[in-house]
Amino acid sequence: MALQPVFQETIAAVATATGAAGVGIVRISGPDAFTVADRLTSGKRAAANQPTHTLRRVTICDPNTQEPLDDALLAVFHGPRSLTGENVVEIQGHGGMVTLQRVLSACLAGGARAARPGEFTERAFRNGKMDLAQAEAVAALVSSQTVAAQRAALRQVSGELSDAVNEAAVVLQEALALIEASIDFPEEIGDADPVQVDAPLAHAETMVRSLLSTAGYGRRLQEGLTIVLAGRPNVGKSSLLNALSGTQRAIVTPIPGTTRDIVEEALNLQGLPVRALDTAGIRDTFDPVEQIGVARAREAMRSADVVVAVLDAADGTLTAEDVLLLESLAPQPHVVAVNKSDAADPAELIESATAVTPDAAIVPVSATTQEGLSLLSEAIVRTVTGNAAGAGSDAPLVTSARHEAALRAALDALLAARATLAEGLPLEMIAVDVHGTLQSLGEITGAATREEIIAGIFARFCLGK
Ligand code: GDP
C-alpha cells in the first residue's frame, strides 16, 4: 500500500536502556527507514524487499568507511503495519553503550535524524495507531513499579480506558442528536421529551462517576505514596518496617533520587508502590545532633501521605508522649498500629487511642508473628485512597491526574446539563453543556486536546520510546 507520510523526516534512536546488556536495539522510523538501513548493510538484499515482520542477519557497517560495527538482526516492518504506522527498521545487535552509539551514529550518517524523546510514540499517535490515553500508558508501562501498576498500564495501552470514555461519548451523542433535531426541526419534531433526553445523560453520568471512583487508587498506582513510621523508641518501628518489607517487598529497589540518610524501604502495599521511612533511623543517624534528627523526623511526617503511629501494646496505656504524637497527627491522614499484640492484650490501648483519634484506623499488629500486617496495609491504602474502587477491580482504572481532571470537568458539565434540563430551560443551553462534556472527554483520548498539552505529554517520555 502506498503511504502518505505525515512526517517527512526519518528518525532514529537507541530504543533499549544503555548498559552492558546482551541485546541492544536501534530503531529507525520514517519514509526513508529502508534506504537508511540499506546504507548500513552492504548486503545484496534491499530492506524494502524483505518481507514485513521478518528478521534477517546482517553486518552493520559505517556508511562512510565501511568499517563493520556490529553483527545484528534486521527487523523490518512495512507501514502502516508498524509501531509508528511508518516504515520501521529495528537493528537488533549487541548491547553496550559504545556499540549502540556507533550504530546510531551510522544511522545518522545514513540520513536519519536523532529522534526526540517520545517521538516514536508521538508518530504512532499522529498516524492514528493509538490515541492519547494509550500513548500515555506506554510511558506509564515503562516506568511502572509494581505488578498492579504494570497491569493497569498494559490494559490502558490496549485501549480499555479509551473504550470506556468513548462509550460515554457515544451515549452523549445520542442525547445531543435528540436535542439538535428538535432545535433544527422544531416544526417536524416538536420539543424534545425531557425524560428521553435525560436518560442518556443519566447513563453517561453513571459511567463517568464509575471511572472517577477508581482515580483515588489508580493515581497512586502511578505516583506511589510515602508513609512514615513514627513513635517512641522501642515500640517496634524498625521491626514493623522489616516485617512489612519482608511480606510485602516491592520488586524495585528504593526509588532513585531519594535521600539516603534515612532508613527507607520500598514496599508494595495492595499493589501500590510505597516509600516507607522509619523516623527511628533519622534519630539514630543524627544522634550527636539530635535537634536535626528530630526536625527531619517532623519534616518527613509533614510531607508523608500517611503517618503510621506505632504504639506498644505492652505499655497497656498511652504514655504522655504517645498522646502528644496522636494529637499532632490530627490534621493529617494517619493510622495507628498497636504493635507487640502477641505479647500483651491490645484492647485497652486501642480504646484509649480511639478516644484521642476517633477517626483513624487502629490496627493491632505484631511485627514478630506478622499477625495483622495485611489489615494494617489495607488500612494505610484506604486512608490515602478513600473508599476508591480499584484494587483487584476489573473496571478500567484512571491512573493519571490529567485524566481525572478531564473527567471531573466532564462531570461538572454533565451535571449542569441535567440541571438545565430539569429547570426546563432552552435546549440550546443544554446542548452547550453536553458539548462541553464531550470536549472534556475528548481531552483524554486526544480527540480534543490542545496542541501544547500533547507536546508536553510526549516531551516527558524517555528517549527511544
Ligand atoms: P524501634 O526503636 O521503635 O524501631 O523498635 P525496634 O523495632 O527496634 O524494637 C524494639 C524491641 O521490641 C526489640 O527488642 C524487638 O524485638 C521488640 N519487638 C518489636 N516488635 C515486636 C512484636 O511485635 N512483638 C514482640 N513481642 N516484640 C517486638
Ligand 1: nearest atom to the Cα of 343 = 26
- For position 259, what pLDDT does the model report? 37
3-state secondary structure of 423: coil
3-state secondary structure of 91: strand
Percent of the chain at pLDDT > 90 equals 66
- Ligand 1 within 6 A of CB of 334: no
146-194 pLDDT, tens digit each: 888 999 999 999 999 999 999 999 999 999 999 998 888 877 777 778 8
Pick the range with the lowest mean pLDDT from 78-87, 103-112, 139-148. 139-148
Element (H, E) at 56: strand 54-61
Query: Ligand 1, residues 229, 232, 234: which to mutate, most atoms within 8 A of Cβ?
Result: 234
Query: What average pLDDT score do residues 261-277 get?
Result: 84
* Among protein residues, the one whose CA lies closest to atom 19 of ligand 1: 236
- Ligand 1 within 6 A of CB of 308: no
Percent of the chain at pLDDT > 70 equals 91
- For position 245, what pLDDT does the model report? 86
- Ligand 1 within 6 A of CB of 235: yes
Please spell the DSSP secondary structure of 149-171, one letter per residue.
HHHHHHHHHTTHHHHHHHHHHHH
| 442 contacts 449 by C-beta, under 8 angstroms | yes
Q: Report the greatest alpha carbon distance in the chain.
A: 87
State the CB neighbour count (10 A cutoff) for residue 253.
Answer: 7
What cell was used for 281? 533511623
- For position 251, what pLDDT does the model report? 42
Query: What average pLDDT score do residues 324-352 get?
Result: 94
- Ligand 1 within 6 A of CB of 342: yes
Q: Give Cα 274 distance to the centre of its chain.
A: 14
Comparing 248 with 362, the larger pLDDT belongs to: 362
Relative to beta strand 225-230, strand 306-312 is parallel
- Ligand 1 within 6 A of CB of 270: no
- For position 391, what pLDDT does the model report? 59
Share the mean pLDDT of the chain: 89
User: Residue 368 Cα, ligand 1 centroid: separation in angstroms?
Assistant: 8
358-417 pLDDT, tens digit each: 999 999 999 999 999 999 999 999 999 876 656 566 778 999 999 999 999 999 999 999
- For position 253, what pLDDT does the model report? 39
Residue whose grid cell is 506509564:
140
- Ligand 1 within 6 A of CB of 366: yes
Residues 6+ apart with CB under 8 A from 5: 30, 31, 86
- For position 130, what pLDDT does the model report? 95
- Ligand 1 within 6 A of CB of 155: no
pLDDT exceeds 70 at position 261 = no
190-220 pLDDT, tens digit each: 777 888 999 999 999 999 999 999 998 898 9
